[in-house]
Every structure is written in C-alpha cells, then in structure tokens.
Amino acid sequence: MFKKIKQKIQPNEEKPKYNPPKIPISPFKNDFIDELNKIVHSPADLVIRYVTNNITIAFIDGLVDTQSLNEKILSRFEDTSQETPSTLRERLSIPEVDVFNEMMKSIDEMLIGGVLIHINGYSEILISKIPSFEKRSLSAPENESQVIGTQVGFNESINTNISLIRRFISNPNLCNEQFTLGKETRTTVSVLYIHGIVDEKHVNTVRQRIEDLDIADLIDSAILSELLDDSSSSIFPQTLLTERPDRFCDGLLTGKVGIIVNGSSMGIICPFTFLEFFQSREDQNLRWPIASFIRILRFIAVIVSTFFTPIYVASLTFHYEVIPQPMLVPLSESRAIVPFPPIIEALFLELVIELLREAGARLPTKVGQTIGIVGGIVIGTAAVQAGITSNILIIIVALGALASFTTPNYMMGNVIRIIRFPIIVLAGFWGYYGIMLAFCFLLIHLLKQSSLGAPYLAPFYPPRLRDWPDSIVRLPLPYISKHSVNSRSRKEIQKNKQKKNNNKNNQKQNQDTAQNLTPENKEKVIE
C-alpha cells in the first residue's frame, strides 16, 4: 500500500562488495594443506590426496564428478620432479582448467565443483572444473499444469534450466549475463534477454538493482523477486514466478527480461502487468473463441471471489431493499436461528475455508485431499445444524473459494484470498458505501503501481490500443501484436515511426502528383 523508500546513492558513493582477502598460495605442500584446512575448518567431506611426491589434489566429496576425476585428471599425472603448472595444464584433457595465485579465489572455485591441483615448489595452483551436483530429473510442472502444450518444467540446476531455454530459443541474440549474490551463499544468478527485442531500459534497471543488492544469502528466486519489485510493501506481485520454460521463453520473445537463480526451480519474468497474471500459456494453444471465453470466465471468477461475500453482508445488514422479494423468505428462514450478525458469520466461514485450504496444502497429498473434502462437509453441516451460520452463506462462501482457484498464478491467487477480508469488514460497517470505498482504494493503489517502471494496469492505463486484442479477450493471432508497447525496444519504435513517416510522405507525393495531372492524364489514370 505504500511506496518503498529507496536510499539514493550518490554518484561517487559505492556499496561495499564481496572482496575476499588476498592470501598468497604457499609453494610448499604442507603449508598449503595447513592453510587450506584452516580456512575451510577441516570439514569431513574435504578430500586431500597425494598423487605423487610433488602433486597434491584437494576437492569436496560429492561436488566433483568421480569418473572425470579418475579418467581425465589422475590418469594424466606422472611422478616426475620436472612437472610445472604450464606443462600439466597442457596435458589435462579438460577444457576448463584455470591458474590462480590467491587462496580464497581457489577455495571459492573448489566449493562449486573444482579440483585444486598443487605442485610442490610453485606458488600457483591449477583448478579443474568438473562439477557433479545432485539434481532432480526433469518432470511435468506441478503448480502450472496444462492440457495442451509442453509437459516439462524447470529443476534446481541453473545449467539445466538455461539449456531448456536455449532448446526453445535457438537465437544468437539470446544474451545471458551472470551475477553472484549473497556474501554467505555466493548464489549464481543469470539474467536473460533477447537483444533487439527487449527494451534496454528494462535490462539496465534489472542490472542496476541486482548490482546494488547487499544481502548475506539468497536461497530462492522468490526472495530475489521481492527484492527487485518497485514496491515490495504492496500485496500485489510485480514480477511473475513460473516453473514452465515455455512461458519463460514466451516472455523473452515478447520483450521481457528473465532471471534464473541457481538452486531454484522458478524463473522470474519482468516487467509484468496486472492483467497478464490472469493469462495462461495454454491460451495461446487454444482456438481464440475458447481462449477468450476462458479468460472472461477467469475475470468473472475474480469479481465473484472478491465481492460476492461482501455484497451478501452489506445487503443483509443495511440494504434489504435490493434483495428480490422471492428470496427474502428463504433468507429470513435460514437466518432465523443464527445469533450472530452477518459480518461475524461471514468472517467465521471465510476463516474456516482458509484453515481447511492451508491444512490441505501442508499435509501429505492423500491426507490433504481427504481433509479438504471431509472437513468441509462435516464442518459445514455441523455449523448449520448448530445454528452458527446459514445454508445460503455456505453456498456463497464455497462459490467464492472455488472461484479463487481459477487464477492461473499462485501469487495472485493468494492476493485474491486476502483482500476479501478487509472488504467484508468495510461492508459490515458501511454497506455498499464500504464496498465502493474498498474498490476505489484498490483501483488507486493499482494505478500507482509499476513493474520496472512500466504501468501496472497497462494496456488500459495508460491506454494502449495496440495491446487490447490480447488483454481480457484473445483475438485471432494475426490481430495480436507480438511485442507489447511497454516492452518494445527502441529499434522497433524507430522502425514504426519511420514506417509512419514513409506512409505520410507517399500520401503527400500521391496528392501532389494528382494535383499536377492534366485533365487528359487524369482520364488515362482513371481508365
């Protein structure tokens, strides 16, 4: 609800960055091993081998590919006193072999799957990168399922996720910039975009915000998403978290910026507008009348889930005149034995629904489904028989909860669940005036929001007629602009301006030639 206050950094002021102390590498193997054990605190998974009299290797067990270690490194060593780092580097059949002369940088490489190779008598060390991290095999997305389309999702390996993206987009203009975040975790973050399609302003904004971050740890992409938001205090998400590589690539192809975090199975897409959270990737795979009907159904479901229960509370508390005459008798009979006012009754049922939903999500799958179904039936029936609530309100609350599940994005679905409660409270105190006050407050808040500086309610505010065919409805593909106005690059904008200028010039030339024609020539042209 409030804009995040960001510290203004002066041009000459720089944030402190991670700068490890420069510790030289000892040329003596015993001193080297003692220094290594001292820095990493002698962990149980640290492996140190004396391969020959002069060569010592060190690595972390579980982070190194054992087969590559035996075949491509250990088999290449010779027990000779004439071995040097340069000659040994030439004989190793591994493409990634680097030479370091600082201890801390060498240890950082070892912690991400590198093998330290120390030669006695030299103050340089070879690092061979043969990482082998345990990772989950590719599977279908669990939270963003679809019937028509690809059935593969991201996993926790950043290299695997980037390979999936390059499998969809075989384009040399696909750029990949890597950053390292977190003083303790040293997490790798990749920023991806397509050069020539993306707006460079958005890329610079993401790059600057990542470089300005000064955090101790980064475990998941959801944390980074919140840190990159324009207003992190807002309840509405401003970046999309997705586990589908096809939706991630679709965002890149429409001029957005994508972010992949190592160790997270969710990718980040930005900038993202409010309406795009209610669009699914499957909409592009369906015929346009069906996709339009489903989109309209989603927006109707959002309105029902947000305002249906507050309208019930306001109508029974202040505005009986809006209730049709045939419904007054069933409503009065249903509420005859209920001792609580409508606001208490509605809040109680909404809390029960949220408790059942949260319990079903946290319990194991089979038990969670049973709790959700049986618990809802038992508690609802018992509440009506005990006179705590009415039958009609149970139907309304259940319909609102069912409508909230139609939102294809989990983060936006949580928002729809939460904003109902303050609207119910305002409806219980001020009736329809409270509902209108809540609606105006939400509208003003959404108008003030932005995503990477782009308007959050685009294409309706500010009006972007070019993007309307793919907003609430989805018209046929030839009528849809592939690149939205907010994500168009400067080259594309210049091309469109040049086309318009050329069309205007052609029209002027045709008018001038028409005016200069003689009557005889005009008749020939008409013929």
Within a domain: residue 143?
no
Backbone angles phi, psi at 68, to 5 degrees: -65, -35
Q: Which of residues 113, 129, 145 is at a domain's end?
A: 129
Tell me the pLDDT tens digit for each residue of 175-192: 999 999 988 888 999 999
Identify the bridge partners of residue 247 per DSSP, sorted by sequence position: none
120 and 169 in a single domain? The answer is no
pLDDT tens for each residue of 13-60: 454 555 666 888 888 888 999 999 999 988 898 999 888 888 889 999
Residue predicted with more confidence, 473 or 499: 473
Q: How far apart are CA 271 and CA 258, in angstroms?
A: 9
Q: Percentage of the chain surpassing pLDDT 70?
A: 84
Residue 404 within a domain: yes
Q: Based on the fold, state whether residues 93 and 172 are members of the same structural domain.
A: no
Residues 113, 174: one domain?
no
pLDDT digits (tens, 9 = 90+) for 237-252: 999 999 999 999 999 9
Question: Is the residue at 14 inside a domain?
Answer: no
By three-state DSSP, how is residue 299 classified?
Answer: helix
Q: What is the DSSP string of 248-312?
A: HHHHHHTT-EEEEETT-S-EEEES--TGGGG--GGGGTS-HHHHHHHHHHHHHHHHHHHHHHHHH
Residues 6+ apart with CB under 8 A from 42: none
Q: Are residues 173 and 236 in the same domain?
A: yes
Determine the pLDDT at residue 343.
92
From 283, 309, 333, the end of a domain falls on 283
For residue 111, name the pLDDT band (cuts at 50, 70, 90).
confident
pLDDT digits (tens, 9 = 90+) for 340-399: 889 998 998 899 888 888 887 777 766 666 676 677 777 777 887 888 888 888 888 888
Cα–Cα distance measured from residue 231 to residue 114, given in angstroms and rounded to the nearest whole number = 39
Expressed as residue numbers, the domain containing 123 is 29-129
Distance CA 260, CA 162 (A): 8
pLDDT of residue 409: 87
Report residue 165 as tokens: 């993206």
φ/ψ (deg, to 5) at 83? -70, 135
pLDDT at 179: 93
Q: Which amino acid is at 329?
A: V
User: On the CB side of 411, how many CA atoms lie within 13 Å of its CA?
Assistant: 19
Same domain, 311 and 422: yes
Q: Are residues 321 and 392 in the same domain?
A: yes
Say what angle helices 288-317 and 432-448 make with each other, to 10 degrees.
140
Is 295 part of any domain? Answer: no
What was the pLDDT predicted at 17?
Answer: 54
pLDDT band, very low/low/confident/very high, at 12 (cuts 50, 70, 90): very low
In a domain, 23, yes or no: no
Q: Who has greater pLDDT, 14 or 172?
A: 172
If asked whether residues 110 and 53 sit together in one domain, one would say: yes
CA distance 314 to 424: 8
With H, G, I as helix, E, B as strand and everything else as coil, classify residue 416. Answer: helix
The answer to whether residues 305 and 440 belong to one domain is: yes
pLDDT higher than threshold 60 for residue 195: yes
> Among 226, 250, 283, where does a domain finish?
283
Lowest mean per-residue pLDDT among 48-57, 88-97, 215-224, 325-334: 88-97
- CA dist 264 and 158 (Å) reads 8
Work out the widest C-alpha separation in the chain, in whole angstroms. 104
The answer as to whether 403 is a domain residue is: yes
More confident residue, 91 or 40: 40
235/446 Cα distance (integer angstroms): 10
pLDDT one-digit tens code per residue, 252-305: 999 999 999 998 999 999 999 999 999 888 888 888 899 899 999 999 999 999
Indicate whether 311 and 439 sit together in one domain. yes
Do 327 and 210 have their domain in common?
Answer: no
Residue 347 forms part of a structural domain: yes
Half-sphere exposure of 146 (CA within 13 A, CB side): 22
Kindly tell me if the per-residue pLDDT of 522 is higher than 70: no
Residue 9 lies in a domain: no
Number of domains in the chain: 4
10 pLDDT more than 50: no
> Could you tell me if 304 and 273 lie in one domain?
no
Instruction: Specify whether 237 is located in the same domain as 169.
Output: yes
What is the rounded average pLDDT of the residues 100-113? 87
Average pLDDT, the chain: 82
Judged against a pLDDT cut of 60, whether residue 523 lies above it is answered with no
For the whole model, what pTM was predicted? 0.80
